[in-house]
Amino acid sequence: MELSVLNIKGEDTGRKVTLNDAIFGIEPNDHAIYLDVKQYMANQRQGTHKAKERSEVSGSTRKLIRQKGGGGARRGDINSPVLVGGGRVFGPKPRDYSFKLNKKLKGLARKSALSYKAKENAIVVIEDFSFETPKTKELISITENLKVRDSKLLFVFAERNKFVYLSARNLKKTNVVIASDLNTYRVLDAKNIILTESSVVALENLFKA
């Protein structure tokens, strides 16, 4: 698949890049995508939720009523789960929600997501650029020139550029990542993917490894 390289003014530079079919042209695997996104979402969970059980609730341990003959459920002290204000039975405890996925499966998921975007013609390739200082207005101007201003965007760079990241930080619909940090969730979450020329090469090298 060939795409024209645009400059930051949205003009055709006359150069073209070929997107590798082994990355952008495979038959997408929906189950691999599901597992990779599920892992990403699970890893975002802090897992710090906690409810007190009866042994942790503050209250007297005196038995309130006799064991039998009262006509109701058996209960001991005021911390019993059957009473209002008592402890919770099998309540949530702090836990780690993360789980392992094979490296090959994660790679397949990312390639599947990129292939979906390629089929939707949602990938734009632009020449490399950088900022010397944070320039949010200039980044907005670039998105307007590319005619993708109102959609959710993901800029992919080959290397980190602190000032481009800072320029995009206050833009609600714009995210910036480097090729090595690209993940399936981010690709699918964006409506349009903006690749720099060098990031195309970086992605090819990444998936060869």
Task: Pull the structure tokens for residue 105.
Answer: 């499966």
Taking the CA atoms of residue 34, residue 38, residue 41 and residue 42 in that order, the dihedral angle to the nearest 10 degrees is -170
Q: What is the residue type of 6?
A: L
Q: How far apart are CA 97 and CA 49, in angstroms?
A: 12
pLDDT at residue number 161: 87
Fold type of domain 2-28+103-208: Ribosomal Protein L4; Chain: A; (3.40.1370)
pLDDT at residue number 80: 93
Extract the residue ranges of the chain whose pLDDT is less than 50.
Answer: none
pLDDT at residue number 149: 86
Query: Is residue 34 within 8 Å of 182, Cβ to Cβ?
Result: no
What global pTM score does this model have? 0.82
Q: How far apart are CA 25 and CA 14, in angstroms?
A: 23
The predicted-structure confidence for 16-71, as pLDDT tens digits, reads as follows: 999 999 999 999 999 999 999 999 999 999 999 999 999 999 999 999 889 999 88
pLDDT at residue number 58: 93
Q: How far apart are CA 85 and CA 65, in angstroms?
A: 17
